[in-house]
Amino acid sequence: ETGVTQSPTHLIKTRGQQVTLRCSSQSGHNTVSWYQQALGQGPQFIFQYYREEENGRGNFPPRFSGLQFPNYSSELNVNALELDDSALYLCASSPGLRGQYNEQFFGPGTRLTVL
């Protein structure tokens, strides 16, 4: 176990709805990254937060947004859900200045299904 927790474990939504996924980082880690993993694919970087500020973003539309709180936990929000948003969403935390070049500790993921 990495100490990174995510909730919920599974979620089913319908097209057009909005969803919020949550992540608690490992103690002492100030950087959180979010990844989307479609079935049979590798994880794709969504964005990273360092001390409550966005610190890099992947190729995802603005309806994917995030937040990091003072305790370094984080949320991923997705608006106007599409069928292709169905995936495993992974949160990873890391220590150090901006989490650069460090190993990342992953949570178990949230499985989102969009119908």
Partner 1 sequence: SQQGEEDPQALSIQEGENATMNCSYKTSINNLQWYRQNSGRGLVHLILIRSNEREKHSGRLRVTLDTSKKSSSLLITASRAADTASYFCAPTPYNQGGKLIFGQGTELSVKP
Task: List interacting residues with partner 1 (CB under 8 A).
Answer: 2, 4, 31, 33, 35, 37, 39-45, 48, 50, 55-56, 58, 88, 90, 92, 94, 98-109, 111
Taking every pair of Cα atoms in the chain, the longest distance, rounded to a whole number of angstroms, is 40
Query: Measured from the CB of residue 58, what is the shortest distance to partner 1 in angstroms?
Result: 7
Single-letter residue type at 78: V
CA distance 29 to 37: 23
CA distance 80 to 41: 23
The separation between the first and the last C-alpha atoms of the chain, rounded to the nearest angstrom, is: 31
Query: Measured from the CB of residue 64, what is the shortest distance to partner 1 in angstroms?
Result: 15
Considering the complex, state which of residue 25 and residue 94 has its C-beta at the smaller distance from partner 1: 94
Query: Measured from the CB of residue 16, what is the shortest distance to partner 1 in angstroms?
Result: 26
